[in-house]
Amino acid sequence: MLRKKSYWIILALVLLSIAVPLWLLLPRDPDAANDPWETVPAKKIKTDHTHLLSGPFASGSEVTVACLACHPDAAKDMMKTSHWSWESEPFKVASRPEPVRLGKKNAINNFCIGIRSNWPPCTACHAGYGWSDADFDFSNEELVDCLVCHDHSGQYIKGDAGIPEKGVDLLTSARSVGNPTRENCGSCHFRGGGGNAVKHGDLDGSLYFPTEDIDVHMGRHKFLCTDCHQTTDHDIKGRAFCISPGAANQIHCTDCHAEELHKDERINRHVATVGCPTCHIPYAAVKQATKVHWDWSQAGQDIPEDDHEYLKIKGRFVWEKNIVPEYRWYNCTSEHYLLGDKIDPDAVTELNHPNGDIHDPRARIMPFKVHRAKQIYDATYNYLIQPNTAGPEGYWTKFDWDQAARIGSEAVGLPYSGNYGFVRTDMFWVLTHMVATKDKALQCTSCHGENEKRLDWIQLGYSGDPITHGSRKFTANH
Amino acid sequence: MRRMSHFLPAALLLVGLLCSAAPGQTMHPVFYLLDEQGGNVLKTSRAVSPAKTCGQCHDTGFIINNTTPGHAAWTDQQAAPFARLKGEGGTTQADGQSGGMNCFLCHLEQPNNSARLAALTSGQAEWAATATLEGSGIVVKAPNGWQYQRSSFNSAGELLPEKARMVDPRSHHCGYCHGQVHYQATAPLLLQAGQPEQWTTFTTGQVISPQKISASGINLAGKEMLDRSWDIHSERLLDCVSCHFALNNPAHQQADPANQPDHLVYSPRRLDISEYLHRPSHILAGSPVQQIGAGGTIDSPMRRCEGCHDFDKAHPWLPFKARHAQSLACETCHIPQLYAPAAAVIDLSAVEAQITYRGVDGSGDVVHTLVEGYKPVILPRKQGDGRVKLSPYNLITTWETRESGQVRPYAIHHNVAHGEFVVRECSSCHDKNSMLSAAMLVASPRSGGSLELWQESDGVLPTGQLLERADGLYFAADPGAAGFYILGHSKVFWIQWLGGGILLLTLAGIALHAFLRFRANKKHKTSAEQTRLVYMYEAYERYWHWLQAIIIVGLILTGLTIHAPGRFGWLSFAAAVRIHNVLAALLLLNAFLSLFYHFASGKIKTYLPEPSGFFNQMFSQARYYLSGIFKGEPHPFEKSLQKKLNPLQKMTYLVILNILLPLQIVTGILIAGAQAWPEVSQKLGGLGFLVPFHSLLAWLFAAFLILHIYLTTTGHTPLASIKAMISGWEKVPLHPEEK
């Protein structure tokens, strides 16, 4: 009987008659949200270089030559990137006849202001060896520093002009190389502006081994920098807003996360106006205080010094921790002050104004750490001066602003009138790190209503709280 | 009034022009502060009379007569349980004079409630309204009374504009009397428990705050996991007056849809704003007594949940939406737990009132003890439209004397949860331990004293029993007594015993019969009978038979899960219901098609009993089964293509297919149909009758199934009939004539 086909057909028909209606009529599970893990690259496997390098290495360049023996294109690829060139691709600016390249090489900020004439100490963070003056050979492959990003020995330290410090064991360092860790990136990026946690507000030493309270990606999910800053042929994704004017090669939260992934429809409606970091980075400088105010005009006095209060060489500071960010419209591009641009000495000059406004469909409200400073400017020509601070004749040695201004202006190629003053400047640092766990995200009452009032509606261009006045499509007040 | 009348057109103009007033701006004109005789207090230095002061523009006579009771003065009924708690004076007294209105308490931006309470409790009730102005710079408390500050008035004797800022009541205004309201984002919430003046928090533990519970400063068990706000509506920036609006407020007024023509969706006609400002009703939606038009019903125009939320769209995942909406108030699932302590027992029998709280572990200073929160008890409440819905309550026992006490319910409508904190599991209610019949502690163990439950109060019915347990007296809610039958939870025990008994008897009988046959077979080896093969069952018959069989088994198995989801947990309750319904629909379809087939092919005849001699045939068949079969006798009835069923079978199938199966189908449809046609199901007995009946029939079907399978073994060989139902061919013993 078991062999008869017709019996099995009847049985199959019976089972299908039940299974098909059940399958059709039973409710489906709601679509599983896109799994963000699908876009996170797999952790690369480290190749042990212990037996591949024999040394001895007398200088960093000798290490580089050894690296290039097996990785011949590495230096070439590296030299195309901004970690090497310290400047961007050329871009058009309204105030200049020709396209401009902007980068650490020639930019100005309101921290230590600029690197020209100050190369040796500033270029300690250059991914190369020997940039000690304006004549650095950017075409020499052997000057590329492989170890700063690839060293895993922990004892590789760069000094002035990027030369490894005395006592660094280059062989150990070379043998230890692997894919960049947080220590590699953080050794420079956490310490911008002259020390740990000074500059960014969302990048500091607490991110070496953060708990999930500090950053959920790096803390709970053990992300390395390179998991978001994905790299192909040394081209590292992500743009430093303070330097880069454009939006290409940018990292977005939506590279991994679905855009409208909130269970609450009302929150999903915010996505078109509010950037992800606004709600998910409720505070900057969560663990370690960051510098929020730097008054250069007070420098030079012989009064008690404190790294967090006053230094003779630098002036007076204010540091803050657990900062409530300031919010601006931002469409991923910004205006940059270029040396020589005129300023209004009675107003606050924004060195890198975030572009975007309430009418710009690409703009979102984003959180910023704002660094406010008073820095030196030419009172006759009305532009900012990039002073010479380091070196034997610099301000940090001679405490002479006039001389510092003269040397610095010569280095950047701008005339100096001899008449200097100090003017207020602001600099905006968009917050993208120190993402909080989702239960710490902002609530409705953080921005709307009379409670926290994180957003200044009028300043953002609304006529009032959109909850009562309507969305930006309807109520822009200009 | 006369003085200010020319201001009104100007005010209207302002309304039109200043639509985009900056936040925090009010447009209230300046005014004199008047005393009870109508004189300017700057001259008379007497207490401010809000009725006279505000009466310069607003019709305070109308307001006083149209105020939610308690907002002017506490009525004795409301004050009674707590009168002794408050001590002498206390807030049972009316504020001020004439009607007790203190407009400033609710309409000043920052009124001084503690100064007001101090005035009331120190016997200076007539200065209570004046005291409310303390701290604003208008009046200052001096040792010999209150002194008005000239600097807050202009040269004409009117209050300066910045002092005359009158606003719509915000939640913190309501909180002065009603309960704890906490809006500061950065300050962690700390409980202010144990204050009877904060009525709502005291009686139910409700706290109004948009802050996350995990961000509070309370010693609360499991706080880190409570990543939700205290109250979702306050988080979404609603105020008390968003739902408890003044009944004639033109911004919130909605025409009663019952009074509108069907085709009109919205009526723009409403009270003019200046008329409203002149005569604002202070009867707030949701007050226990609303006398406007509807004659004091509980649910007069009131912003209930359904006024803003669309139930169907909000719960796309919920099966039997209408059924849940009919039986449960939204609060039952959306306020599953309160996280602040609430009063549980108030003992007024001693000199000093003793209050015991629930939701707190241990006694002592509530600020430091471990707060655990509590789950409300679910009670049926008759709403204004006559419907009874289950809603959450706290119960407070008041011992007036050591011997007698009363348990009273206090409604819970706030602290609505959101998302994962809402009850979503079917098994929360559809299970042996259902939250709908949970018990609440109402008295600690003590000797003597009798507790009585409340009479119907505010529509809440005292359905439940007082249970004595080791750690005290509990009130156990009984939704069944209020007419609610909850699948998977409610049980009718005699049905279970009866049905189970029949099943067991069947099993026992079969076991005995089989044993006897087995023994008899050994004794009388059946001689190899001659048989012939008959094509008894064609393909369709076999198909519908096995489909029916599997469906019925499936229905029984899923039915068991629905009946007792805990014990028969092979499926979740929700899955069992869904599969049961799909299978039931398939059964209906299968049965109908089969019936049609039988009629169309004429095979229905096999089921019809022959008219003459039927009962005799039935008896001879029965005799065969009961004795002949053991003796190796042949079947009294020979099976053939035309006569497939013996008389007993015909009888059985007649009953099964014409009575039991239709009844089961109809009761099943009515149970599922309680969702769509609740009145029909209700008229035909309601779930409380239909479900137990359906269960009893299920027992009978199960018994039949076992009996049927057993009886198929009584063919030529034990497996002959089963094989025949698979292959279609049956070995039929030759009739003596045929041999």
Yes or no, beta carbons of A18 and B551 under 8 Å apart: yes
Query: Taking CA atoms, what residue in A is nearest to B225?
Result: A439
Q: How far is A32 from chain B (nearest CA, A)?
A: 15
Q: How far is A323 from chain B (nearest CA, A)?
A: 13
Residues 6+ apart with CB under 8 A from B4: B29, B31, B56, B57
Query: Taking CA atoms, what residue in B is nearest to A14?
Result: B547
Q: How far is B585 from chain A (nearest CA, A)?
A: 10
What is the percent of chain A with per-residue pLDDT over 90, rounded to a whole number?
A: 67
CB B369 within 8 A of CB B362: yes
Q: Is the pLDDT of residue B76 over 60?
A: no
Cα–Cα distance list, B630 to B198, B520, B639, B707 (Å): 83, 5, 20, 18
Instruction: Check residue A256 and report its DSSP letter.
Output: T
Mean pLDDT over each residue of chain B, to the nearest integer:
82
Yes or no, beta carbons of A13 and B23 under 8 Å apart: no
Yes or no, beta carbons of A439 and B212 under 8 Å apart: yes
Cα–Cα distance list, B575 to A368, A385, B178 (Å): 49, 74, 44
Yes or no, beta carbons of B20 and A469 under 8 Å apart: yes
At residue A51, the 3 state secondary structure works out as coil
Yes or no, beta carbons of A13 and B210 under 8 Å apart: no
Kindly report, residue by residue over B418-427, the tens digit of the pLDDT.
888 999 999 9
Q: Within 10 A of A67 (CB to CB), how many other CB atoms are there?
A: 20
pLDDT of residue B448: 65
DSSP, residue by residue, A206-219: GGSS--TTT-IIII
pLDDT of residue A242: 53
Domain ranges of chain B: 41-167, 239-303, 318-338+375-482, 493-733
Compare CB distances from A14 to B20, B546, B727 and report the shortest one's residue. B546
pLDDT of residue A1: 57
Q: Cβ of A2 under 8 Å from any chain B Cβ?
A: no
Size of interface A-B (CB pairs under 8 A): 81
Strands B139-142 and B145-148: antiparallel
At residue B292, the 3 state secondary structure works out as coil
pLDDT of residue A144: 94
Chain centroid to Cα A428, Å, comes to 11
Kindly report, residue by residue over B594-604, the tens digit of the pLDDT.
999 989 988 88
Query: Taking CA atoms, what residue in B is nearest to A465?
Result: B23
Query: Taking CA atoms, what residue in B is nearest to A264?
Result: B419
Q: How far is A437 from chain B (nearest CA, A)?
A: 11
A322: left (phi over 0), alpha (psi -120 to 50) or beta: left
Count of CA atoms in the C-beta half-sphere (13 A) of B440: 30
CA angle, residues B16, B18, B19, in degrees to nearest 5? 75
Encoding tokens for residue B655?
């009953």
Chain B residues in contact with A448 (beta carbon < 8 A): 237
Kindly report, residue by residue over B264-298, the tens digit of the pLDDT.
877 788 889 999 999 998 888 876 544 333 333 33
Q: Is the pLDDT of residue B4 over 70?
A: no
Compare CB distances from B543 to A4, A14, A449 and report the shortest one's residue. A14
pLDDT grade, residue A249 (50/70/90)?
Answer: confident
pLDDT of residue A109: 92
- Disruptive mutation site among B171, B230, B546 for chain A (greatest number of A CBs within 10 Å): B546
Chain A residues in contact with B546 (beta carbon < 8 A): 10-11, 14
Q: Model-level pTM greater than 0.90? A: no
- Of the candidates B201, B193, B211, which has an alpha carbon nearest to the alpha carbon of residue B177? B201
Yes or no, beta carbons of A450 and B23 under 8 Å apart: yes
How far apart are alpha carbons A147 and A162 in whole angstroms? 11
CATH of domain B493-733: 1.20.950.20
> For the CA atoms of chain B, what is the radius of gyration?
37
Q: Which residues of B touch A (CB under 8 A)?
A: 20, 22-24, 183-186, 210, 212, 214, 227, 229, 235-237, 317, 419, 539, 542-543, 546-547, 550-551, 554, 575, 578-579, 582-583, 585-586, 590, 723, 726-727
pLDDT of residue B590: 93
Query: Taking CA atoms, what residue in A is nearest to B542?
Result: A10
pLDDT of residue A170: 93
Residue-wise burial string across A332-356, b where 16 or more C-beta atoms lie within 10 A, e elsewhere = bbbbbbbbebebeeeeebbbbbbbb
Give mean pLDDT, residues B244-269. Answer: 80
Yes or no, beta carbons of B210 and A10 under 8 Å apart: no
Q: Which residue has the higher pLDDT, B190 or A325?
A: A325
pLDDT of residue A23: 86
Query: Taking CA atoms, what residue in B is nearest to A9?
Result: B543
Q: Cβ of A23 under 8 Å from any chain B Cβ?
A: no
Kindly report, residue by residue over B426-435, the tens digit of the pLDDT.
999 999 899 9
- Of the candidates B512, B505, B323, B352, which has an alpha carbon nearest to the alpha carbon of residue B429? B323
B231: left (phi over 0), alpha (psi -120 to 50) or beta: beta
Q: Which residue has the higher pLDDT, B299 or A4?
A: A4
Q: Which residue has the higher pLDDT, B129 or B77?
A: B129
Strands B531-535 and A315-320: unpaired
How far apart are alpha carbons B407 and B395 in whole angstroms? 6
pLDDT of residue B10: 41
Give mean pLDDT, residues A72-91. Answer: 90
Q: Which amino acid is at B664?
A: Q
Compare CB distances from B185 to A446, A465, A467 and report the shortest one's residue. A446
Chain B residues in contact with A6 (beta carbon < 8 A): 539
Yes or no, beta carbons of B419 and A264 under 8 Å apart: yes
Encoding tokens for residue B150?
């000239």
Encoding tokens for residue B497?
């015993």
How far apart are alpha carbons B247 and B62 in whole angstroms? 13
Compare CB distances from B582 to A21, A263, A446 and report the shortest one's residue. A21
Give mean pLDDT, residues B80-97. Answer: 46
CB A351 within 8 A of CB A343: no
pLDDT of residue B193: 62
Encoding tokens for residue A362?
């690409």
Chain A residues in contact with B20 (beta carbon < 8 A): 463-464, 469
How far apart are alpha carbons B215 and B225 in whole angstroms? 11
Chain A residues in contact with B539 (beta carbon < 8 A): 6, 10
Q: Cβ of A16 under 8 Å from any chain B Cβ?
A: no
Query: Helix axis angle, B661-673 relative to B687-711, nearest 10°?
Result: 150
pLDDT grade, residue A45 (50/70/90)?
Answer: confident
Going across the sheet that includes B439-443, the strands are B439-443, B472-477, B464-469
Yes or no, beta carbons of B317 and A27 under 8 Å apart: yes
* Range in A209-223, B211-225, B622-636 the model is least confident about: B622-636
* Range in A237-246, A466-475, B334-343, B687-696 the model is least confident about: A237-246
- Of the candidates B612, B611, B554, which has an alpha carbon nearest to the alpha carbon of residue B584? B554
Yes or no, beta carbons of A439 and B214 under 8 Å apart: yes
Kindly report, residue by residue over B9-41, the tens digit of the pLDDT.
444 444 433 333 334 567 888 899 998 898 999
- Of the candidates B66, B42, B62, B603, which has an alpha carbon nearest to the alpha carbon of residue B290? B66
pLDDT grade, residue B367 (50/70/90)?
Answer: low
- Of the candidates B213, B244, B217, which has an alpha carbon nearest to the alpha carbon of residue B228? B213
How far apart are alpha carbons B2 and B22 in whole angstroms? 30
Encoding tokens for residue B260?
């509108």
Chain B residues in contact with A22 (beta carbon < 8 A): 579, 582-583
Q: Is the pLDDT of residue B1 over 50?
A: no
Q: How far is B225 from chain A (nearest CA, A)?
A: 10
Chain A residues in contact with B24 (beta carbon < 8 A): 450
Q: Length of chain B in residues, anyone?
A: 739
- Disruptive mutation site among A9, A269, A442, A451 for chain B (greatest number of B CBs within 10 Å): A451
Query: Taking CA atoms, what residue in B is nearest to A470?
Result: B20
How far apart are alpha carbons B118 and B121 in whole angstroms? 5
Yes or no, beta carbons of A463 and B229 under 8 Å apart: no
- Disruptive mutation site among A14, A458, A467 for chain B (greatest number of B CBs within 10 Å): A14
Give mean pLDDT, residues A233-249. Answer: 73
Chain B residues in contact with A439 (beta carbon < 8 A): 212, 214, 227
Q: Is the pLDDT of residue B91 over 80?
A: no
At residue A421, the 3 state secondary structure works out as strand
Encoding tokens for residue A425?
């400047």
Compare CB distances from A464 to B23, B543, B551 and report the shortest one's residue. B23
pLDDT grade, residue B73 (50/70/90)?
Answer: low
Q: How far is B40 from chain A (nearest CA, A)?
A: 35
